[in-house]
């Protein structure tokens, strides 16, 4: 965490959801925590967690300087219990989770869908599989950077939803405009 962060700034909690919670949502959680200077805290979960983080996701995070010691595949049920942290934002990062009946999150967080292809589902050579994970990492890094640049303190929930939706529709090779 950044010790120079003014104490009056609010810390926002963000939950990234996917079906298996083994790659995309884990990568997003790690990217947010790595790049937000403590202003945002990222979490991830899955509707049907695989129970382990994909080894290529962990390898990629390590290569890019992320701390992986607390990453684990877990159910979104952990965030429905009374003592779970209340979320300010909930993002789905895969089509399956977006089409499932999601729980009603306490506090009415701002939600958005940032669907991405599942790199864990890529069949092919080791090089092709690694490239799929690298592509996912790059796209999520770009989206999270754009999210972190938003003036979240000054936007109402309608404007936030609109801007977050636009971020989620950015694809590979776009210039973010």
- The tally of domains found in the chain comes to 1
- pLDDT tens track for 38-73: 999 999 999 889 999 999 999 999 999 999 999 999
Tokens of 138: 């790059």
Residue 45 domain flag? yes
Annotated catalytic residue, options 34, 68, 96, 102: 102
Residue 173 domain flag? no
Residue 153 domain flag? yes
Short-list 39, 33, 34, CA closest to 5? 39
Annotated catalytic residue, options 17, 94, 132, 140: 94
pTM for the whole thing? 0.88
Annotated catalytic residue, options 18, 58, 60, 110: 18
Q: Residue 108's domain is classified under what CATH number? A: 3.40.50.2300
- pLDDT tens track for 8-18: 678 999 999 99
Pairing of strands 89-92, 12-18: parallel
Residue 116 domain flag? yes
Residue 174 domain flag? no
What distance in Å separates the CA atoms of residue 48 and residue 135, rounded to the nearest whole number? 24
- Whole domain around residue 24: which residue ranges? 12-166
What distance in Å separates the CA atoms of residue 42 and residue 89, rounded to the nearest whole number? 10
Establish whether 84 is a catalytic residue: no
pLDDT higher than 80, residue 102: no
Short-list 132, 133, 146, CA closest to 174? 146
* Mean pLDDT, the chain, integer: 87
Residue 84 domain flag? yes
Report pLDDT for 177: 35
Residue 91 domain flag? yes
Instruction: Give exposure, 76-95, as e/b (b: 16+ Cβ within 10 Å).
Output: beebeeeebeebbbbbbbbe
Residue 177 domain flag? no
Establish whether 94 is a catalytic residue: yes
């Amino acid at each position: 965490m950044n010790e120079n962060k003014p104490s009056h700034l609010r810390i926002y909690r963000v939950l990234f959801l996917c079906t298996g919670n083994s790659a995309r949502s884990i990568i997003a959680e790690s990217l947010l925590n790595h790049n937000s200077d403590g202003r945002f805290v990222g979490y991830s979960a899955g509707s049907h967690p695989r129970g382990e983080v994909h080894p290529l996701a962990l390898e990629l995070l390590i290569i890019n300087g992320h701390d992986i010691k607390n990453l684990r595949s877990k159910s979104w049920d952990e965030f429905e219990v009374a003592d779970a942290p209340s979320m300010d934002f909930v993002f789905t990062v895969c089509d399956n989770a977006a089409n499932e009946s999601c729980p009603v999150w306490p506090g009415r967080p701002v939600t958005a869908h940032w669907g991405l292809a599942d790199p864990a589902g890529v069949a092919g050579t080791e090089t092709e599989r690694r490239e799929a994970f690298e592509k996912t990492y790059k796209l999520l890094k770009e989206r999270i950077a754009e999210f972190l640049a938003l003036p979240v303190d000054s936007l109402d929930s309608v404007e936030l939803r609109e801007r977050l939706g636009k971020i989620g529709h950015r694809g590979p090779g776009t210039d973010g405009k």
